[in-house]
Structure formats: C-alpha cells, structure tokens
Amino acid sequence: MVITINYVGFHPTLILDGLRHIMKTKGIERIYILYDRKDDSYGRVSRRNANKLKEMLAFFEPRLVPVNPLSQENIFSTIYAIVRNEIQENKCEVLIDVTDMPPIAVASTTMVALMFPRAYLYYVPAESRGDFIPPPDTPAFEDWVEEKDNVRGREPKGIEL
C-alpha cells in the first residue's frame, strides 16, 4: 500500500488513469490532492478539477491541500511536510505525480523526493499528443505557431538547491 500526492491542474483524467494503475499494482492507502490556491484562471480550473477528483475518489477520502504551484518555497514546504510525515511517522511509501505540475513545482518536488529513500516521482503520459496542433504546411499551422511564440518572458528566476 502506498500514499499518493497528486497536483491537479488541467488534466484530472491523466491523474485518474495513473491512480487506477497504482490501485491495481500496489494498492493505495491515502491520496493527497494538491491544487492551485491562487485567485486566477489557473487556480479556478485547478480547484474545479480538485473537487471533481475528490468526488470521484470519495472512497479514499482524499485530502485536498491548497498550494501556490509557482512558489518554490510553498511547494517544497508543503510536499516536504506530507512526505516526511508519511515516511518517517507512518512508515509508508510515497508516490508523487508530477504530470500536471509547472516546471518550478517539479524542481521543488524532485528535491524533496531526493531527501527520502521511499519517495518516488512518476508521471502519466497521454495516449496521444499534439492532436490540437493544425496540420503542417497549412496557414492554420503557421498562425498557431506564431500565436504560441507570441508569449513574452519575464526576468529568469533561479532554482534554489
């Protein structure tokens, strides 16, 4: 039996597919669902999907945990507290799903997992990728690529190790 920690953003079905596999192969004792607590579009989608997962996984009585997925300190301290408690106090194995996490959250989560011998990361790949991309050699493709490349960056941020 394992404990899972799952951050939900836009892809609750991928999370469910991963949990189904773990249920069959290892068994699940407890589920933590981390969601974006920010009051923006991403936060609203994340909260909606966290509640959807909570309902679908009601049998496990999942624990909903609000986080700021763009704060290295918040992600690190939240996941560290859960992992430390589950491994050191409850003697459990912990599987952490990084499928839906932003890159900074994955980096912070990786640092936590490296600190504990019974903490493991996993991700759930989609069956198909890029279905939403228009066919190459079409005007729609060029427009789509230009639109995606139209996002401007801010000052780079370091990742504290």
Cα distances (Å, whole numbers) of residue 72 to 36, 75, 80: 13, 5, 12
CATH for 2-126, among 2.40.37.10, 3.40.50.11700, 3.40.50.1370, 3.40.50.300? 3.40.50.11700
pLDDT of residue 11: 93
Which range (21-35, 86-100, 122-136, 146-160) has the least confidence? 146-160
Between CA 133 and CA 145 the distance in angstroms is 9
Q: CB-based burial of residue 32 (10 Å sphere; 0-12 exposed, 13-18 middle, 19+ buried)?
A: buried
HSE-up (13 A, CA, CB side) for residue 53: 31
Residue 153: phi and psi, rounded to 5, are -95, 160
What's the whole-model pTM score?
A: 0.87
Task: Tell whether the model's pLDDT for residue 159 goes beyond 90.
Answer: no
Domain locations along the chain? 2-126
Place of tokens 């624990």: 63
Looking at residue 148, its amino acid is: K
Which residues, other chains included, contact 3 with Cβ-Cβ below 8 Å and sequence gap of 6+?
Answer: 28, 29, 30, 31, 32, 82, 86, 90, 92, 93, 94, 95
**What is the number of other CB atoms lying within 10 angstroms of the CB of residue 56?**
15
pLDDT digits (tens, 9 = 90+) for 7-22: 999 999 999 999 999 9
Q: What are 30's strand-pairing partners?
A: 3
pLDDT digits (tens, 9 = 90+) for 100-152: 999 999 999 999 999 999 999 999 998 877 677 888 888 899 888 888 777 77
